[in-house]
């Protein structure tokens, strides 16, 4: 029975517009691969403590599925030889998959959204090895990855201004309806 | 009143310091602390650095070594006590009698706090911890209303600390066996309630089911908010109907109770959530720091306004207004 003292509350990340998903759907994924590989290699070198927190889970295969985009990522953090690739759909046999809107996944990685809060609101969902997914979440949260610097290196100051503008634009998009949209 | 804030990682510790914590509590990356989750907690080196960072900002660090020592492996708990003291911990948060005894004898000058896991819920129990081990503070279980807390404060020669925000247990802290029943592992002995390694989610016919140790404990439709995958927050079928029996997925939000807790003589207010990300830590700590600043100016808050952070996106004042016994 619900406690009479309870109060209902709200608060969710935005979801990318469907026209954007439709617009990028026909694009080939192959050109993404070099950029993804470079980004992961930079993260792996710049944040070695990630592997300390991942422990045994560093050898596992993770699926990262932005549910408002028509593609997903398979991540293998393996120390010294990390691999990431873009896929149309997550394959079978992954150890763990994390699904949620792009803004939620990025916000969680940047430390602006709390993973448990997104889970409670049904915005984010985990399948497979929950311990591996938790270890990945906690390792990334602690690492405080500077994505602007990772993505654009020496252009980071310009990138920061651009990404701040982009974030403002994304935040102005409508939030998920009641946080109940999931795939 | 002091604001005591959680940290599961060094990044969270720094976030809590920057958000206005008076003290941080954290634990080692092993079964000596009751939040022994994957990818969480501190190495010895991280604790030393974390304490140094906090002290530079005038913030205390309390180290939770609050599981019950396993027979034959007591050296693990002894090492945790020794290493936390050597790292400069401002207090150790302990629950186990043997660990309290060891800490009080080996480190007589070390400040000791009685963990909520000890379940010390009356003046006699608290007096025992004070007289036997020199405990300076007790973290009260979340079973007490404000009148009971005021009585305890009045009759105890010991500081009190109470939870004001975050996850709720089913009021059997330190004695709960639900996780053990389903998985063989418990927060009391292994530092894990409903360990992630024993949790699974499956989708069937548009519903997500959560299982713990092979037991299906809940099922969510597309429009339902979720809670932690613990047995206490599972839904059960009974002759009188189906639903939540122990506890619904809600979080404690006692912001509205702060004036009463202050008047009751409480020393410190504790935020739950060492397993949460630094976004939670920063937002919740900042919110309660603002509420406490407002309280000093005679203002009161109706809630912490932290809906998005709450389990089930719902807040409750828990037992603080409880009128039954």
pLDDT in tens, B27-54: 999 999 999 999 999 999 999 999 999 9
Please check whether residue B13 lies inside any domain of the structure.
yes
Which residue does chain A place closest to B12, by CA atoms? A142
Which residues of B are less than 8 Å from A53 in CB distance? Answer: 9, 39-40
Cβ-based contacts under 8 A for chains A and B = 152
| Contact flag A7-B311 (C-beta cutoff 8 Å) | no
Same domain as B141, residue B184: no
The answer to whether the CB atoms of B220 and A122 lie below 8 A apart is yes
Residues B135, B272 within the same domain: yes
In a domain, B147, yes or no: yes
What residues in A contact B197, CB-CB < 8 Å?
A: 129-131
pLDDT at A2: 39
Assigned domain for B184 exists: yes
**pLDDT given at position B109:** 97
Give the structural domain span for A44. Answer: 28-145
Same domain, B232 and B269: no
Q: Does B309 touch chain A (CB under 8 A)?
A: yes
Which candidate in A77, A94, A131 is best for mutational testing of the B interface (most B CBs within 10 A)? A131
pLDDT top residue among B86 and B323:
B86
**Is any Cβ of chain A less than 8 angstroms from the Cβ of B8?**
yes
Looking at the structure, tell me whether residues B153 and B185 fall in a common domain: no
In a shared domain, residues B214 and B292? no
| Distances, alpha carbon B173 to alpha carbons B119, B140, B141, B152, B315, in Å | 6, 10, 7, 18, 20
Domain boundary among B227, B244, B261: B244
- In a domain, residue B78? The reply is yes
Kindly state the average pLDDT of the residues B97-114: 98
Cα–Cα distances in angstroms (integers) from residue B215 to residues A110, B211, B238, B274, in the given order: 35, 5, 16, 26
Higher pLDDT, A21 or B205: A21
A180 located within any domain: no
Mean pLDDT of B3-25: 98
B220 touches chain A (CB under 8 A): yes
Q: In chain B, whose CA is at the least distance from the CA of A127?
A: B201
Q: B222 and B157, same structural domain?
A: no
A166, part of any domain: no
Ranges of chain A whose pLDDT falls below 50: 1-10, 177-183
Q: Is B308's CB within 8 Å of A9's CB? A: yes
CB-based contact B306 A9, cutoff 8 Å: yes
Chain B partners within 8 Å of A121 (Cβ): 225-226, 308, 313
Of B38, B243, B314, nearest to A6 by CB-CB distance is B314
Best mutation target among A141, A145, A146 (most B Cβ atoms within 10 Å) is: A141
- Asked, for residue B173, whether it belongs to a domain, the answer is no
- In terms of domains, do B106 and B183 share one? no
What is the pLDDT, as a whole number, of residue A177?
A: 42
Element counts in chain A: helices (H) and strands (E): 8, 6
Residues B277, A137 contacting (CB under 8 angstroms): yes
Does one domain contain both B40 and B9? Answer: yes
Mean pLDDT across the stretch B296-315?
83
Q: Which of A5, A113, A180 is facing B317, going by the closest CB pair? A: A5
Distance CA A85, CA A71 (A): 10
Query: Looking at CA atoms only, how far is residue A92 from chain B in angstroms?
Result: 14
Under 8 Å between Cβ of B191 and B36: yes
Find the mean pLDDT for residues B226-233.
Answer: 88
pLDDT category, B273, cuts 50, 70, 90? very high
Lowest mean pLDDT among A58-67, A95-104, B132-141, B297-306: B297-306
Would an 8 Å CB–CB cutoff place A139 in contact with chain B? yes
- Does B156 score more than 60 pLDDT? yes
A54 in B contact zone (CB under 8 Å):
yes
Mutation target among A63, A115, A130 for the B interface, most CBs of B within 10 A: A130
* Residue-level pLDDT at A170: 59
Q: Give the structural domain span for B234.
A: 178-244
Measure A173 CA to nearest chain B CA, in Å: 18
- Choose among B199, B278, B317: nearest Cβ to A141: B278
Domain of residue B133, CATH code: 3.20.20.70
Q: Which of B203, B226, B244 is the last residue of a domain?
A: B244
A109, A145 in Cβ contact below 8 A? yes
Chain A residues in contact with B250 (beta carbon < 8 A): 3, 6
Residue A98 maps to which CATH number? Answer: 3.30.1050.10
Is B208's CB within 8 Å of A138's CB?
Answer: no
Q: Do B153 and B229 reside in the same domain of the chain?
A: no
Q: Is residue A88 part of a domain?
A: yes
Q: Are B134 and B255 found together in one domain?
A: yes
Decide if A9 is inside a domain.
Answer: no
Whether residues B25 and B137 share a domain: the answer is yes
Does residue A94 lie in a domain region? yes
Residues B121 and B205 in one domain: no
How far is it, in rounded angstroms, from Cα A107 to Cα A167?
10
Q: Which residues contact B58 (CB under 8 A, 6 or more apart)?
A: none
| Average pLDDT over all residues of chain B | 93
Question: How many domains would you assign to chain A?
Answer: 1
In a domain, A72, yes or no: yes
Of the residues B223, B244, B265, the one at which a domain ends: B244
B171 Cβ contact partners less than 8 Å away, ≥ 6 residues apart:
B141, B142, B143, B319
Looking at residue B207, what is its pLDDT?
86
Contact B224 A114 (CB under 8 A): no
Tokens of residue B36, six digits: 């022994």
Q: What percent of chain B has pLDDT over 90?
A: 73
Whether residue B40 contacts residue B5, with contact meaning beta carbons closer than 8 Å, is answered with no
The verdict on residue A178 lying in a domain is: no
The predicted structure's pLDDT at residue A4 = 38
In a domain, A47, yes or no: yes
Helix (H) or strand (E) holding A158: helix A156-171
Q: How far apart are CA A156 and CA A172, in angstroms?
A: 24
Count of domains observed in chain B: 2
For the CA atoms of B145, B148, B150, B151, the dihedral, rounded to the nearest 10 degrees, stands at 180
């Amino acid at each position: 029975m619900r406690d009479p003292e309870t109060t209902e509350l709200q608060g969710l990340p935005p979801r990318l517009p469907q026209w954007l998903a439709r617009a990028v759907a026909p694009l080939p994924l192959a050109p993404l691969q070099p950029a993804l590989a470079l980004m992961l290699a930079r993260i792996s070198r710049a944040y070695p403590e990630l592997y300390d927190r991942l422990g045994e889970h560093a050898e596992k295969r993770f699926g990262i599925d932005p549910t408002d985009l028509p593609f997903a990522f398979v991540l293998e953090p393996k120390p010294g030889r990390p691999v990431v690739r873009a896929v149309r759909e997550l394959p079978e046999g992954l150890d763990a998959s994390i699904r949620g809107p792009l803004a939620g996944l990025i916000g969680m990685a940047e430390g602006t959204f709390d993973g448990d809060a997104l889970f409670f609101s049904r915005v984010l969902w985990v399948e497979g090895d929950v311990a591996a997914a938790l270890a990945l979440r906690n390792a990334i949260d602690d690492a405080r990855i500077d994505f602007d610097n990772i993505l654009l290196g020496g252009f980071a100051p310009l990138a920061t201004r651009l990404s701040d503008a982009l974030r403002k634009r994304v935040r102005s998009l409508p939030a998920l309806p009641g946080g109940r949209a999931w795939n | 009143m002091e604001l005591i804030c959680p940290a599961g990682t060094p990044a969270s510790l720094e976030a809590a310091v920057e958000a206005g914590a008076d003290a941080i509590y954290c634990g080692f990356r092993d079964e000596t602390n009751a939040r022994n989750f994957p990818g969480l907690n501190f190495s010895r080196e991280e604790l030393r650095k974390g304490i140094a960072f906090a002290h530079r900002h005038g913030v205390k660090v309390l180290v939770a070594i609050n599981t019950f020592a396993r027979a034959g492996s007591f050296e693990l708990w002894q090492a945790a006590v020794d290493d936390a003291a050597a790292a400069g911990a401002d207090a150790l948060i302990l629950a186990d009698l043997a660990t309290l005894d060891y800490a009080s004898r080996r480190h007589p000058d070390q400040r000791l706090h009685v963990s909520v896991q000890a379940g010390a819920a009356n003046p006699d129990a608290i007096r025992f911890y004070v007289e036997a081990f020199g405990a300076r503070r007790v973290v009260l279980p979340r079973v007490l209303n404000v009148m009971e807390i005021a009585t305890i404060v009045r009759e105890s020669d010991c500081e009190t600390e109470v939870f004001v925000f975050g996850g709720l247990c089913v009021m059997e802290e330190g004695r709960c066996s639900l996780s053990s029943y389903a998985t063989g592992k418990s927060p009391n002995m292994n530092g894990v309630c409903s360990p992630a390694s024993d949790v699974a989610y499956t989708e069937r016919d548009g519903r997500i089911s959560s299982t713990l140790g092979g037991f299906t404990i809940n099922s969510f439709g597309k429009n339902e908010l979720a809670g932690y995958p613990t047995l206490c927050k599972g839904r059960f079928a009974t002759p009188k109907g189906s639903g939540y029996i122990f506890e619904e997925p809600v979080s404690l939000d006692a912001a509205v109770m702060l004036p009463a807790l202050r008047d009751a003589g409480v020393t410190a207010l504790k935020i739950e959530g060492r397993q949460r990300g630094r976004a939670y830590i920063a937002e919740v700590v900042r919110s309660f720091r603002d509420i406490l600043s407002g309280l000093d100016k005679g203002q009161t808050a109706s809630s912490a306004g932290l809906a998005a952070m709450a389990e089930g996106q719902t807040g409750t004042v828990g037992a603080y207004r409880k009128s039954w016994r």
